């Protein structure tokens, strides 16, 4: 009896000790999970994990950064993309003691708006603050959206890390690159590209060509105007690039196939070594077309400097609906012209006045044809300092369309961000690609798509049929 009692007491003590140990382990695990990232992301591409670039940026933070999420903790639910965004947001304070994160239930705490009186706040927004600098991320800017044929809006990719990392870089930076989108004269708005610049820590605003003032600006964007610029505007563009002899400015100009002759603008570009003709560039090699469309060619990298900046230099650059461009010279009187992206030898030009019977063999001009050109004026200061201003000239404005900028099979977004960052000497930018939870995009050319279709629709069924016949014959005559 006494022996049984001792065993019972021993079992009870062990049970209590194990229960206490489990509670302590759970408490320690909860504390560690709040401070450190203990989860393991086994998804392809680590969709729920912040990138090494962001981790490196966070490890070097020496300035306190506050992140306010205008939602309760359970507000990011109902969609895999919302869950992914919250997983990404929650990791930032785990990788830096300088980052604090607070969820604010905006529905029950409307007085929070008094903390940021100059901003219009709404549910789901993120507010990032460091000292006096504040950046707002609208909830919609955490994702890429698309509209289906039935009119429904769906999320196609998450850009939560890109938006949040860029916002942190913005609030801790002392300087910012000021960019102006030139409006009027029928110019395209390039909305998706300017949004991409804003999301990557550039300050972007609009300036009307009717009365332009370029003071304090670093980059001008002029996208395929259809009405010629006045002589006064041309003179202001020249003064902007000259910059009182200090240079260091950038003009980004894109052409479009609907443009006509514009004498003033054409003369300005000719001074920098560039001229355009009417028509549209097409591609005859299906290996270099997008979605079987000859006027949606992919272009090849010529200048290695910017190609090696890409995560995957084998990814093509899409140049839809491009206008034919020519170089008038490569160097003259301090001006230097360099093709950095080119259409292939199998490309051609369809003239604007070509009839319906036109075919590729009728083209009078063959590739290679310049697609993206970097032209510069270089000089030296009294202290032998090298000074330059640049004009980026693109044959296509449609390279800013969603199928180009948001397509993970082409490099448009990454390449253009690298190019702008290099010319403006940015050191506080990190290019982070959007994340699609639908899996990898099947990036194949038209020729590859045709070959795959033939194999899947013809060769594979034929092999299955032959295998079936062989099995039947074997059983029939064995």
- What CATH number did the domain enclosing 195 receive? 3.40.50.880
Section 440-451 average pLDDT = 53
pLDDT at 391: 97
* Same domain for 228 and 113: no
Residues with Cβ within 8 Å of residue 146, at least 6 apart in sequence: 153, 154, 156, 402
Q: Is residue 240 part of a domain?
A: yes
Q: Domain ends where: 407, 423, 439? A: 423
For the ranges 32-36, 60-64, 128-132, which has the lowest average pLDDT? 32-36
Distance from C-alpha of 42 to C-alpha of 48, rounded to nearest angstrom:
9
Q: Is residue 463 part of a domain?
A: no
Mean pLDDT, the chain, whole residue set: 84
* Same domain for 113 and 203: no
Q: Identify the CATH number of the domain in which residue 57 sits.
A: 3.40.30.10
Section 22-34 average pLDDT = 62
Residues 375-403: tens digit of each pLDDT:
999 886 555 578 899 999 999 999 999 88
Q: Is residue 474 part of a domain?
A: no
Q: Is residue 206 part of a domain?
A: yes
Distance from C-alpha of 13 to C-alpha of 9, rounded to nearest angstrom:
6
* Same domain for 57 and 196: no
pLDDT at 441: 46
Token digits for 386? 């090298």
pLDDT at 149: 65
Q: Domain ends where: 406, 423, 440? A: 423
pLDDT at 442: 42
Q: Is residue 156 part of a domain?
A: no
Residues 397-439: tens digit of each pLDDT:
999 998 888 887 889 988 999 999 999 987 666 666 667 666 5
* Same domain for 86 and 214: no
Q: Is the peptide bond before 114 cis (omega within 30 degrees of 0)?
A: no
* Same domain for 179 and 57: no
**Domain carrying residue 17:** 10-39
pLDDT at 151: 66
Q: Is residue 319 part of a domain?
A: yes
* Same domain for 309 and 239: yes
Binned at pLDDT 50, 70 and 90, residue 43 comes out as very low
Q: Taking 80 as the threshold, does the pLDDT of residue 15 lie above it? A: no
Binned at pLDDT 50, 70 and 90, residue 298 comes out as very high
* Same domain for 352 and 307: yes
pLDDT at 40: 46
Q: Taking 60 as the threshold, does the pLDDT of residue 445 lie above it? A: no
Alpha-carbon torsion angle 145, 70, 48, 34, nearest 10: 180
Section 123-140 average pLDDT = 90
pLDDT at 461: 74
Q: Is residue 458 part of a domain?
A: no
* Same domain for 63 and 206: no
Query: Pick from 153, 128, 146, 151: which is nearest to 138 by CA?
Result: 128
Q: Taking 80 as the threshold, does the pLDDT of residue 321 lie above it? A: yes
Section 264-277 average pLDDT = 95
* Same domain for 189 and 84: no
Domain count, the chain: 3
Binned at pLDDT 50, 70 and 90, residue 74 comes out as confident
| Contact (CB, 8 A) for 351 and 333 | no
Distance from C-alpha of 399 to C-alpha of 290, rounded to nearest angstrom:
12
* Same domain for 385 and 247: yes
* Same domain for 293 and 223: yes
Residues 193-249: tens digit of each pLDDT:
998 888 787 889 999 999 899 999 999 999 999 999 999 999 999 999 999 999 999
Q: Taking 60 as the threshold, does the pLDDT of residue 66 lie above it? A: yes
* Same domain for 305 and 204: yes
Binned at pLDDT 50, 70 and 90, residue 367 comes out as confident
Question: Over pLDDT 90: what percentage of the chain?
Answer: 42
Q: Is residue 247 part of a domain?
A: yes
């Amino acid at each position: 009896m006494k022996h049984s009692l001792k065993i019972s007491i021993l079992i009870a003590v062990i049970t209590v000790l194990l229960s206490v140990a489990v509670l302590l382990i759970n408490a320690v695990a909860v504390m560690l999970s709040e401070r450190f990232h203990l989860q393991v992301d086994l998804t392809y591409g680590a969709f729920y994990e912040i990138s090494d670039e962001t981790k490196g940026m966070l490890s070097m933070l020496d300035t306190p950064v506050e992140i306010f999420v205008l939602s309760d903790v359970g507000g990011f639910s109902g969609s895999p993309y919302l869950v992914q965004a919250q997983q990404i947001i929650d990791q930032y304070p785990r990788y830096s003691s300088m980052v604090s994160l607070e969820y604010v239930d905006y529905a029950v705490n409307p007085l929070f708006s008094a903390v940021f009186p100059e901003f219009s706040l709404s549910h789901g927004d993120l507010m990032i603050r460091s000292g006096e600098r504040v950046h707002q991320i609208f909830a919609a800017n955490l994702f890429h959206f698309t509209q289906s044929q039935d009119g429904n809006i769906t999320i196609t990719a998450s850009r939560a890390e890109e938006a949040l990392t860029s916002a942190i870089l913005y609030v801790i930076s002392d300087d910012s690159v000021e960019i102006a989108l030139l409006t009027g004269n029928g110019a395209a708005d390039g909305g998706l590209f300017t949004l991409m610049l804003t999301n990557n820590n550039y300050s972007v605003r609009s300036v009307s060509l009717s009365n332009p003032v370029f003071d304090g600006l670093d980059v001008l964007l002029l996208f395929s105007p259809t009405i010629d610029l006045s002589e006064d505007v041309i003179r202001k563009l020249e003064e902007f690039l000259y910059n009182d002899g200090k240079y260091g400015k950038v003009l980004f100009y894109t052409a479009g196939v609907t443009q006509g002759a514009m004498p003033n603008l054409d003369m300005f570009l000719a001074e920098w070594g560039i001229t355009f003709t009417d028509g549209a560039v097409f591609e005859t090699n299906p290996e270099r077309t997008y979605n079987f469309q000859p006027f949606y060619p992919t272009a090849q990298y010529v200048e290695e400097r910017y190609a090696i900046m890409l995560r995957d230099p084998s990814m093509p650059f899409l140049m839809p609906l491009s206008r034919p461009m020519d170089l008038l010279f490569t160097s003259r009187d301090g001006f230097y012209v360099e093709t950095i992206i080119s259409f292939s030898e199998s490309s051609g030009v369809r003239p604007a006045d070509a009839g319906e019977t036109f075919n590729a063999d009728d083209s009078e001009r063959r590739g290679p044809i310049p697609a993206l050109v970097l032209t510069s004026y270089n000089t030296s200061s009294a202290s032998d300092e090298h000074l330059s201003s640049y004009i980026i000239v693109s044959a296509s404005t449609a390279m800013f369309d969603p199928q180009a900028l948001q397509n993970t099979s082409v490099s448009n977004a990454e390449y253009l961000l690298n190019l702008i960052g290099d010319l403006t000497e940015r050191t506080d930018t990190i290019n982070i690609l959007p994340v699609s939870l639908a899996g990898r995009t099947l990036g194949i050319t038209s020729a590859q798509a045709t070959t795959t279709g033939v194999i899947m629709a013809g060769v594979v069924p034929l092999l299955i049929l032959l295998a079936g016949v062989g099995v039947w014959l074997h059983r029939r005559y064995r």
